[in-house]
A and B are shown apart, each in its own frame.
Chain A
Amino acid sequence: MPDRRNDPLENRILLPAEISDTAGVPPEGYLEAEGLSAEVLTNRQLAWRRFRRHKAAMASLVIFGIIVILTLLAPVVAPFGFEEQFITRALEPPSRDFWFGTDRLGRDVLTRVLYGGRVSILVGIGVALASALIGTVIGAIAGFFGGRIDTILMRFTDAMLALPALVFLIVVGRILGSSVFIIVLVLTLVFWMPLARIVRGQFLSLKEKEFVEAARALGAKSGRIIFRHILPNTVGPITVTVTLLVAGAILSEATLSFLGFGIQLPTPSWGNMIADSRGQLTTSPWMLWFPGLALIITVICVNFLGDGLRDALDPTQRKSS
């Protein structure tokens, strides 16, 4: 089913229970509001401090960092080449020689998990960044100009959201092919919508703010208002959403590759490695466990990162727990 789970809009956000009559507690951000704090640097420090308080996010940052470094350095750290075969030692369980075992063609599973991670993570980040670009442009145009432009763009966005994403991916992917570039492109087509909606919402409210009106009164052109005055204020929510999109994109790539519509063998990706394990599931389960675990850990880490970033950058949307 389409990944509603990683749709940031669905990550319901609750404010802590309002306790009436507890004044005397300076609200967070109170100092800034009073004009008592120094400039942007302090804001950044505050955000970092809030992020550090989120223990799971900090742990995830470390783990995800290690995963990214290891996979990016796959050609250096991997014990073998990803197409290197040891035919006589096919389907061997994990051992001193092959930490994660070998697959049907006698290839080292650890090596392929590292190389596969490289593809999976690059696709995830690529999709998230491309979606950020498209989503921000569409959302900004819709929110800033409003009126008919807004209506048309948002109808289109809603229609795209209603599309059964996986079917769309399969059909379009089959038409366009399945190189890494195409897969990023196709996934972007179904991932930009949440961002467009969030950016639009931000623009709608920010464009009514006094500082924007002041800029307008001073004769600033639309472009300048968008880029200098509004966009910098939407960086927080955009960053949070993009992070969560990385997780969604990694999952979707894995799903597509699993079905055979994504990254094609022999280039490994976690999704096609898991698919490849199906034939030997009962005899060589390590072919499933290791890419599977890598995928789960990565996705959890990215989700926690997004959560921590929300606490840090978007404190008005803090979750209740």
Chain B
Amino acid sequence: MSSYLLPQNRSMASPLKVSSAIAIAISVLVWLAMLGPVAALLVHLSPSKIVATLAPPGALDPLFISLEASILALFVLVITGTPLAWLLARQKLPAGRVWETGVLIPLLMPPLVIGLLLIYLVGPATPIGKVLAEIHLTASNTFFALVLAEIYESAPYYILGAEAAFTKVDKRLEENAALLGDRWPRTLRRITLPLAAPGLATSLATAWARAMGAFGAVIIIAYHPYGLPMKTWINLEEIGLNGSLPYALCLIVVALPLPILAYLWSSRAQGRLTL
């Protein structure tokens, strides 16, 4: 570096140094703390342990159960939650705040409590339970109950996220599309959904992670069949850490990449959608 540049550089850098060093140090600590558990998991796992736990026939069944239940839960969520989110975002519902609070409640309640209350709502002895029985469904210790519990645990994340995504779409753009001759379904397809897509993807991915990892409500109303979180817990109880860590890894591998990819894509896309 040329010597005449030095004093100038130093004077510019020094006021930043102390405060930014502290800030960076704290940020690194927080970041490490966030990633710590994942690191610990990887440190304590060896390939042989993983094989021993996951290789036996049927050992991967909880994975498939979880995948199937989560896919179904998300499917139901997208079909029913997206229109609700759009109505909330466009303030088309009377007393919008009340509706929003209703969606928020499952998020604020401990999942365990949701599970307990679900027994009173849809358990075999309740009116809804009796209706369900008519169509040969039982919301207790069944695959159906697992899906139901996962929906309750993940719904607020999707609906509120999707609402935020729709709110971000400038209403004027929808009006412009309509004035250019688009009926509302066409405007929805050509303007609203593409512009909300990054936000929708992020909230869907978050909901996916929540559904895959749903445990609190699941342990109450869907002890069987075992999904991944249940199996992890059962193994912890019966075999100990060695038996449960491979399932924990399994859970992370399946639940995490989608949200992370969605997040990365969404932040990239968002930059291009702002004028």
Instruction: Determine if chain A interacts with chain B.
Output: no
